Structure 1
């Protein structure tokens, strides 16, 4: 991945993204028609990308999925459970692997993981509800699946952002 455009923004709203991509589409990227776009799960950005690149498949970054699922598991207080109960850890790892499946198989595989957790007395019902409601319903299996993609993350972009952040020595620098 090679950055071709840098843009400093004051926020992450759909209107701001629309303004940026409208400018880019008209002035720099008129003939660019990507088939796949890998991004994080930010709704405003994903909606904008889908609008400006309607023929592209917008896919979520597998790393960001796993990071968000792990943080949610910890926030719900299941870290000790997953560290002490091998079946809880196995269920968590199976959830983290769901995006590797074809989109048509993800819901069925999720149901298998949930049944595994129930059958092995893994008390994480609310965590499975979160996964069902957010990842499978809101994000959707088509955006979740990275199956068959040569790249499953946008880590090269994240590495660049991290290096830039270290140069500024603050998370959100004020350029003025």
Structure 2
């Protein structure tokens, strides 16, 4: 489908970055059709997949919330790729220390299963470069495809009924396009403000950081199947968007 879109636009589409879901076929298509573009996996979908995995491994909600706090697990997405191994050790320690400070029980066995899953899925199945944006300008590069999904919802809401006529469809698209052009034009005129993206600032990680988070406890039994293909699904609950981002 992407190929036909490129052809119908006389091959004039030359995006610098492409943000998409974590679907292997979609990522491959983007990389094939736009070889000069940087393909970035949607941060919202990444965090949603990680939270679902935590729930599969029976990690309590209060511990999940600590891990999903901005600047903890998502720190892996902004640090240099060469530091990912030590970065995982830092994240393990950070989650454990925050749990201890809050008086929340930390289960080494459950987290060991989670990190095994993380290694298989986000290190081996997907290339780190798809979800790690170190070296890119955080203020210019979109981290999620939520704006596109929001536009899709807004477009559907404008239609008076499902399956509109061609005339209605064209009219709605023209009206909505004019509104978006006006919004963009209002920014330099001072009538509107460009949204400010909150940055995740990388931390300094000691080169000799130890990994002591998985010792002394037997591995947990996976009570629910760990299907890595789950990460290639669509958004199941868009209401989580504000919480996860």
The TM-score normalised by the length of structure 2 is 0.51
Moved more, 157-166 or 29-38: 157-166
Q: Which has the higher contact order (CA 8 A, sep 6+)?
A: 2
Task: Let me know the Cα RMSD of the aligned residues.
Answer: 2.9
List alignment gaps of at least 5 residues for structure 1: 1-19
Residues 98-137 of structure 1 aligned to structure 2 (within 5 Å) = 98-114=76-92, 122-123=107-108, 124-137=111-124
Q: Higher helix proportion, which one?
A: 1
1:57 counterpart residue number: 38
1:34 counterpart residue number: 15
Q: CA deviation at 1:100?
A: 2.5
Alignment length, in residue pairs? 148
Residues 4-153 of structure 1 aligned to structure 2 (within 5 Å) = 20-80=1-61, 83=62, 90-93=66-69, 94-114=72-92, 122-123=107-108, 124-147=111-134, 148-149=137-138, 150=140, 151-153=142-144
Moved more, 106-115 or 49-58: 106-115
- Please say if 1:155 is aligned against 2:132: no
Query: SS of the counterpart of 2:143?
Result: coil
Counterparts in 2 of 1:130 and 1:29: CA distance versus 1, 3 Å: farther
List alignment gaps of at least 5 residues for structure 2: 101-105, 165-245
Deviations 1:63-84 (A, max 9, x none): 111111111111221134xx1x
Structure ID, larger Rg: 2
- Could you tell me whether the CA contact under 8 Å between 1:38 and 1:58 is conserved in 2? yes
Distance 1:101 1:167 in 2: 41
Q: CA deviation at 1:162?
A: 3.2
Query: SS of the counterpart of 1:37?
Result: strand
